[in-house]
Structure 1
Amino acid sequence: MSTTAERPLVAPTVFKLALVLGGLTAFGPLSIDMYLPAMPQMAGELHAADATVQLTLTSFIVGLAAGQLLVGPLSDALGRRRPLLVGLALYVVGSVLCAISPTSGVLIGARAVQAAGAAAGLVIARAVVRDRYSGVEMTRFFSTLMLVNGLAPVLAPVIGAQLLTFTSWRGVFVTLAVLGSALLAVVALVLPESLPADRRTPARPAAALRTYARLLTERTFIGYALASGLMFASLFAYVSGSSFALQGVYDLSPQQFSLVFGLNGIGIILAGAVNRRLVGRFGEHAMLRSGLLLAAVSGLLVLAAVLFGFGLIGLLVPLFFLVSSFGLVMPNASSLALADQARAAGSASALLGVLQFLIGGGLATPLVGLGGPGTALPMAAVVAGFSALALLVSLVLNRPRPALG
């Protein structure tokens, strides 16, 4: 493994690198959302209560958080390739265990293993970008990354639902295992090491804890990290609540709902393209604030549309701009958060990801479910609240800074 991981490789083109890193960062959303439509089927086959099956989502989020916190310092100490290859192999093993789980208890444990492997892709993809780029070029690459993985959290439930038309919930996990195996092979063949030996830090638990403590008390980093985490929560609320709201309240058919989902995903891609083109002219901070302002205003209009009965079109238009703003916020927030962390990019990337998934999956999804079926108000209130909080956090904690280029 050491020889294979450290061997020199020809550097991939920007587009190929974006495809590989986009695939790595898509593992989290795909693994969370693809199997959601299969939960009722899983509960029936495993003879488990709905609450027990929902623990598979909880165990994945916990495993993802713990895995990122571990992988971050390891990648700063050992380089990026070795932890990434081990993580992808672990992801494949965890996915296979999920597919063959005989009981809900085994499935819950297998999901934690799968999550620990997925964590390596999430952390190291951002760290590789920080290793290779800085300033505006880093932000532009993160925007390119959004063109690749921006659709993952939006389209994953649709993909899962389509898979269930010709396979069972076990087939969903087999599909994830196949995807993981393919990406493992691609990474082994084409992704070179991006962290030179002279920039690595010793792997000491005490040093890792000090790094995390420093990051948590660093106003600039935590401001951008919280803003991105709160925006992630708004997107999670949309993903988890929109099917109930749009189909149950506004009577959209499954096909119409899939069309709306797809159009909103295209909005993320278009916003990422706009950000890539304009960030060199206006700077990362200005583009971030523009995205947060667009999200906050759109979120409030979504809430108003539900409260005052503006109808389906009155809801879909601001919802489109709310989801699209993700393509403006995430590249700039990630770039600004990692800008000053060249020697601790792995740890900073880990903490950034942990906050995103803990706030998004840990807070937003349960809040959306509080209202029960038959109402769109919980989804609207949560997306509006978290998008407004993201703007407020950025205004309070982050000061404008010169363009990083």
Structure 2
Amino acid sequence: MSDLSKNAQTRGMPYWELVTLIACLMALNAAAIDIFIPSLQDIGAALGVDDPNQRQFVITAYILGFGGAQIVYGTLSDRFGRRPILFFGLAIYILASVAAVFSPTFGVLLALRAVQGIGAAATRVIAISVVRDCFGGRRMASVMSLVMMVFMAIPVIAPNIGQAIMLFGSWREVFVAIAVFGLAVTIWSALRLPETLAPEDRRELTFKRTAEAFRIVLTNRVAFGYTVSTALIFGVLFGFINQAEQIYTGVYGLGPIFTVAFSTTAIFMAVASFANSRLVERLGMRRLSHGALIGFMFVAVLHFAVAFAMGGAAPFWFFLIAMTINFGLFGFIGTNFNALAMDPLGHVAGTASSVLGFMQTFGGGLFGAVIGYFYDGTVLPMLFGFIILSTGSLICVYLAEGRLFDAKYDPAPETSVDLEREPAE
């Protein structure tokens, strides 16, 4: 039995709890984005932001801080272990959330949002590293799908929580809620999460070894190709999130209840992630993700054509169905692409997670910001962005693989440690 398995059993950490805790660490990031969607208009009004498109910077600042900082944490976690780096990032996240409550200007708020993202970056890097420490191949993709299923529940819940807070308070109380969530996850992690990096796998913190780890990540064609593909497809997600409030309230006039429509889309993303966890070990990551990406492109082109023919926006029922299908397909893309990028890099999992996370999230944040800033009162800029980014993603996949759908190249199911057994009494 490995050291990790012994440690996990000593701590009483069964498989289901590990998956749930990892999902909650990931969910801190989704919560810090989605819970603020209903409050963007009030933040702009309170802090004197006249341009409605600039309100999106509340989302973008967090995403860029979150994406940019990941490049540091993985290297540090490969040297010092997963737990110390995780708690350092969580402390930054909580403190920035509390400080943001007292923001006097929009500029200060954006700076604190970036700092909040910098802290949250540690949770993403460590969550992925822990999964890769423990699992490999299709088994890793299955675990990540379960993690993403819980993670995807946050976009269903968070906007409605944010809207409820706004009914009785202000956007400042939303930051309080985020800080409380961060504190709860910190306490749970401190009490239950074992150190998953084996002592013999720790890498010296020298420039030469760090540069070598980065070289391994950046020169692996499959890892690099899927990383760029993931950045492009994440740009789709962030572009939608950035302008969701404007589209639902400005184009379709839903008012405060727009969070219900937003949640409908998120529900199908969660369902798709669960379905992926059931199907991936049987069908393979490539068949599922490649097919879903092609389907995503087709639906985006159809939606754009209908919206263009109708003067800038399709009827709301068509919009909701098309977006639900698109983001249901997204549930089969992001998780598998990330697992395919990480799978060849288990020997440098921490650095790999940080480099890939930096490229995927920072790049996706920039792509999403561009899409969001071109909002013109119609859905056409967003849908055109969907088409361009999904097409680019498919091209990168083909360049990385030289083929599509070939499941025989999927890594075989495997588990590097046994965390599925319940701890001994």
**Pairwise same-fold verdict (TM > 0.5):** yes
Alignment of 1:117-266 (within 5 A): 117-153=119-155, 156-255=158-257, 257-266=258-267
Structure 1 residue 155: deviation in Å? Answer: 5.1
Which structure is higher in RCO with an 8 Å CA cutoff and minimum separation 6? 2
- For the aligned residues, what is the CA RMSD? 2.4
Distance verdict in 2 for CA 1:117–1:389, change over 3 Å: same
Q: Does residue 389 of the first structure (1) align with residue 364 of the second (2)?
A: no
Q: Residue in 2 aligned with 1:4?
A: none
Q: Residue in 2 aligned with 1:92?
A: 94
Report if aligned partners of 2:68, 2:362 keep a CA contact under 8 Å in 1: no
Structure 1, residues 189-213: CA drift from partner, whole Å, max 9, x if none?
1111111111111122443233224
Distance verdict in 2 for CA 1:330–1:56, change over 3 Å: closer
Q: Does residue 350 of the first structure (1) align with residue 354 of the second (2)?
A: yes
Report if aligned partners of 1:225, 1:352 keep a CA contact under 8 Å in 2: yes
Distance verdict in 2 for CA 1:46–1:277, change over 3 Å: closer
Secondary structure at the counterpart of residue 96 of structure 1: helix
- Which letter does structure 1 place at the counterpart of 2:193? L
Q: Does residue 379 of the first structure (1) align with residue 365 of the second (2)?
A: no
Report if aligned partners of 2:64, 2:366 keep a CA contact under 8 Å in 1: no
Q: Residue in 2 aligned with 1:25?
A: 26
Inter-partner Cα distance in structure 2 for 1:56 and 1:378:
20
Structure 1 residue 83: deviation in Å? Answer: 0.6
Structure 1 residue 326: deviation in Å? Answer: 1.9
Structure 1, residues 253-295: CA drift from partner, whole Å, max 9, x if none?
542x333222211211221122122212221121221221222
Distance verdict in 2 for CA 1:178–1:78, change over 3 Å: same
Structure 1 residue 48: deviation in Å? Answer: 5.9
Structure 1: runs of 5+ lacking an equivalent: 1-6
Structure 1, 355-364 or 244-253: larger mean CA deviation: 244-253
Q: Residue in 2 aligned with 1:34?
A: 35
Structure 1, residues 93-147: CA drift from partner, whole Å, max 9, x if none?
1111111233444433322332221011011101100001111211110110111
Alignment of 1:302-317 (within 5 A): 302-309=303-310, 311-317=315-321
Inter-partner Cα distance in structure 1 for 2:263 and 2:337:
24
Q: Residue in 1 aligned with 2:366?
A: 362
Distance verdict in 2 for CA 1:133–1:232, change over 3 Å: same
Distance verdict in 2 for CA 1:180–1:371, change over 3 Å: closer
Structure 1, residues 231-254: CA drift from partner, whole Å, max 9, x if none?
211112222233333433334454
- Which letter does structure 1 place at the counterpart of 2:331? G
Report if aligned partners of 2:60, 2:242 keep a CA contact under 8 Å in 1: no
Distance verdict in 2 for CA 1:105–1:313, change over 3 Å: closer
Q: Does residue 71 of the first structure (1) align with residue 73 of the second (2)?
A: yes
Secondary structure at the counterpart of residue 332 of structure 2: helix
- Which letter does structure 1 place at the counterpart of 2:410? P
Distance verdict in 2 for CA 1:226–1:383, change over 3 Å: same
Structure 1, 43-52 or 302-311: larger mean CA deviation: 43-52
Report if aligned partners of 2:132, 2:346 keep a CA contact under 8 Å in 1: yes
Structure 1, residues 283-330: CA drift from partner, whole Å, max 9, x if none?
112122122122222222221221223533333222211101121112
- Which letter does structure 2 place at the counterpart of 1:352? L
Report if aligned partners of 1:72, 1:347 keep a CA contact under 8 Å in 2: yes
Report if aligned partners of 1:229, 1:355 keep a CA contact under 8 Å in 2: yes
The alignment covers a number of residue pairs equal to 397
Report if aligned partners of 1:299, 1:385 keep a CA contact under 8 Å in 2: no
Inter-partner Cα distance in structure 1 for 2:108 and 2:236:
31
Structure 1, residues 204-232: CA drift from partner, whole Å, max 9, x if none?
24432332243223211011112222121
Inter-partner Cα distance in structure 1 for 2:410 and 2:60:
40
Q: Residue in 1 aligned with 2:83?
A: 81
TM-score normalised to structure 1 length: 0.90
Q: Residue in 2 aligned with 1:299?
A: 300
Secondary structure at the counterpart of residue 340 of structure 1: helix
Secondary structure at the counterpart of residue 203 of structure 1: coil
Q: Does residue 398 of the first structure (1) align with residue 417 of the second (2)?
A: no
Structure 1 residue 52: deviation in Å? Answer: 7.7
Report if aligned partners of 1:225, 1:337 keep a CA contact under 8 Å in 2: yes
Secondary structure at the counterpart of residue 344 of structure 2: coil
